[in-house]
């Protein structure tokens, strides 16, 4: 209740938009001297890994709204969306949602900072931020239409931020927000699962060994679901270690064949898409509220290819036809999307501190090796997350 109240205060006290130029005008609570530039990895155009460029004179973020905070980034992590955005994926849609106040130096999205996850220290707070104060250790995932976290500082809305679980280091904490919030959105909002509804439920996770998969297994096991994980054989030990009840190796035989010997499922979380979508009609319990949710959708791709109006039209037709096709067979069909949320991270943080969710880190790179981290991610076969350490914890 206390947590909810502290979160509600900024909403109740929300002020009209401010565009102020000085720290005093903006009524900042600050623990750092005003800086003008900072180091960051940026891109100035879309393309392959060679467009990633290190800059040590990127404009320091400033608070544009009273509910924003500036975070000093101790660690960040990279996700497939960073590689995709580097290639230009989603640019048409994301540019529509970018805030002009945050595009300070040019009329385009460049220079663009990638990276969604952050674990770090609050440096400055807007006037209506009551839940945080400078010096707080926090974690967050910032949405893709904002500047990212592969930088010394990042600007976030206070509602996207949460106090970091005390049991995790910054390096560990930075591995979790984006993938856990995505798994949460898919399982809770799309499939209707929760702590109360999970016991007795059978859930199939396709693509269980990467960032989202390892997060989803742990969330579902913390809530008491029965989890079947689909991955390659060399990830079996990891899956069992995270609590998966049953594991299927997609590399030895068709998943369809292997599933014939198993009971039907209440939910399928699909992190792979394509032909794995076919599993929905055959392996979910029909007419029981069972739901298939995929994270691999053509939504942003359609807008990139066709423009916003035609892209939205095609997306609507595709989604509607798939929903109807499954509905007639007694199955719910959904698309799942990452949703930033500080309050959800508060709840996840409690599970982390209770030892029910732990970070699964594939590899840690220093800030100087961001291009290598992208290369690694692009090569596939992730086992959990690729983390970027920005502040050396020993210093």
Ligand X SMILES: NC(=O)c1ccc[n+]([C@@H]2O[C@H](COP(=O)([O-])OP(=O)(O)OC[C@H]3O[C@@H](n4cnc5c(N)ncnc54)[C@H](OP(=O)(O)O)[C@@H]3O)[C@@H](O)[C@H]2O)c1
Q: Point out which residues bind ligand X (CB under 6 A).
A: 79-81, 179, 182, 206-207, 209-213, 230-232, 250, 271-272, 295-297, 336-338, 380-382
Q: What is the smallest separation between the CB atom of 148 and ligand X, expressed in angstroms?
A: 15
Q: What is the smallest separation between the CB atom of 335 and ligand X, expressed in angstroms?
A: 7
Residue 360: is it exposed, middle or buried by C-beta count within 10 angstroms (0-12/13-18/19+)?
buried
Distance between CA atoms of residues 251 and 253, nearest Å: 6
Our CB check for ligand X shows the closer of 182 and 344 to be: 182
Our CB check for ligand X shows the closer of 121 and 276 to be: 276
Distance between CA atoms of residues 69 and 62, nearest Å: 9
Distance between CA atoms of residues 259 and 230, nearest Å: 10
Q: What is the smallest separation between the CB atom of 205 and ligand X, expressed in angstroms?
A: 9
Our CB check for ligand X shows the closer of 75 and 239 to be: 239
Q: What is the smallest separation between the CB atom of 289 and ligand X, expressed in angstroms?
A: 22
Q: Which residue is nearest to ligand X (CB)?
A: 210
The two structure tokens encoding residue 208: 């269980």
Distance between CA atoms of residues 77 and 170, nearest Å: 11
Residue reference for tokens 């050396």: 392
What DSSP assignment string belongs to 62-87?
Answer: ---STTEEEEEEEEEEE-HHHHHHHT
Q: What is the smallest separation between the CB atom of 70 and ligand X, expressed in angstroms?
A: 25
CB 367 within 8 Å of CB 359: no
Q: What is the smallest separation between the CB atom of 202 and ligand X, expressed in angstroms?
A: 18
Our CB check for ligand X shows the closer of 173 and 212 to be: 212
CB 164 within 8 Å of CB 137: yes
The two structure tokens encoding residue 298: 């053509």
Our CB check for ligand X shows the closer of 253 and 354 to be: 253
Our CB check for ligand X shows the closer of 240 and 381 to be: 381
Q: Could you give the angle at the alpha carbon of 109 between the alpha carbons of 44 and 273, nearest 5°?
A: 90
Least Cα distance to 234 among 221, 251, 259 occurs for 251
Q: What is the smallest separation between the CB atom of 224 and ligand X, expressed in angstroms?
A: 23
Our CB check for ligand X shows the closer of 57 and 95 to be: 95
């Amino acid at each position: 209740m206390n947590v909810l109240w502290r979160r509600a205060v900024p909403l109740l006290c929300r002020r009209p938009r401010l565009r102020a130029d000085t720290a005093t005008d903006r009524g900042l609570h600050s623990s750092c001297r005003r800086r003008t530039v900072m180091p960051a990895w940026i891109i100035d155009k879309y393309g392959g890994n060679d467009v990633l460029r290190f800059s040590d004179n990127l404009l320091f973020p400033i608070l544009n709204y009273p509910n924003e905070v500036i975070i000093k980034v101790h660690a960040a992590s990279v996700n497939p969306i960073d590689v995709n955005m580097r290639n230009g994926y989603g640019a048409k849609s994301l540019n529509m949602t970018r805030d002009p106040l945050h595009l300070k130096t040019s009329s385009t999205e460049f220079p663009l900072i990638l990276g969604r996850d952050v674990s770090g220290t609050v440096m400055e707070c807007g006037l209506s931020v009551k839940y945080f104060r400078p010096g707080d250790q926090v974690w967050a995932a910032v949405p893709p239409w904002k500047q990212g976290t592969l930088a010394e500082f990042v600007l976030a809305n206070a509602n996207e931020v949460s106090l970091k679980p005390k049991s995790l280091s910054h390096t560990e904490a930075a591995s979790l927000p984006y993938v856990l919030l995505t798994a949460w959105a898919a399982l809770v909002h799309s499939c209707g699962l929760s702590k109360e509804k999970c016991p007795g439920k059978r859930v199939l996770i396709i693509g269980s060994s990467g960032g989202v998969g390892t997060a989803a297994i742990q969330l579902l096991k913390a809530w008491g679901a029965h989890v079947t994980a689909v991955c390659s054989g060399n990830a079996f030990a990891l899956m069992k270690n995270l609590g998966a009840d049953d594991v299927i190796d997609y590399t030895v035989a068709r998943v369809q064949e292997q599933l014939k010997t198993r009971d039907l499922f209440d939910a399928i979380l699909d992190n792979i898409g394509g032909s794995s979508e076919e599993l929905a009609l055959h392996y979910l319990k029909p007419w029981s509220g069972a739901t298939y949710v995929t994270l691999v959708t053509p939504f942003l791709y359609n807008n990139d290819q066709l423009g916003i109006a035609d892209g939205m039209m095609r997306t609507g037709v595709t989604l509607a036809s798939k929903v109807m096709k499954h509905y007639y067979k007694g199955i719910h069909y959904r698309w799942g999307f990452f949703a930033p949320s500080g309050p959800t991270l508060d709840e996840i943080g409690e599970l982390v501190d209770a030892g029910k969710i732990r970070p699964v880190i594939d590899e840690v790179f220093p800030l100087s090796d961001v291009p290598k981290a992208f290369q690694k991610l692009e090569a596939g076969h992730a086992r959990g997350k690729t983390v970027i350490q920005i502040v050396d914890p020993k210093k």
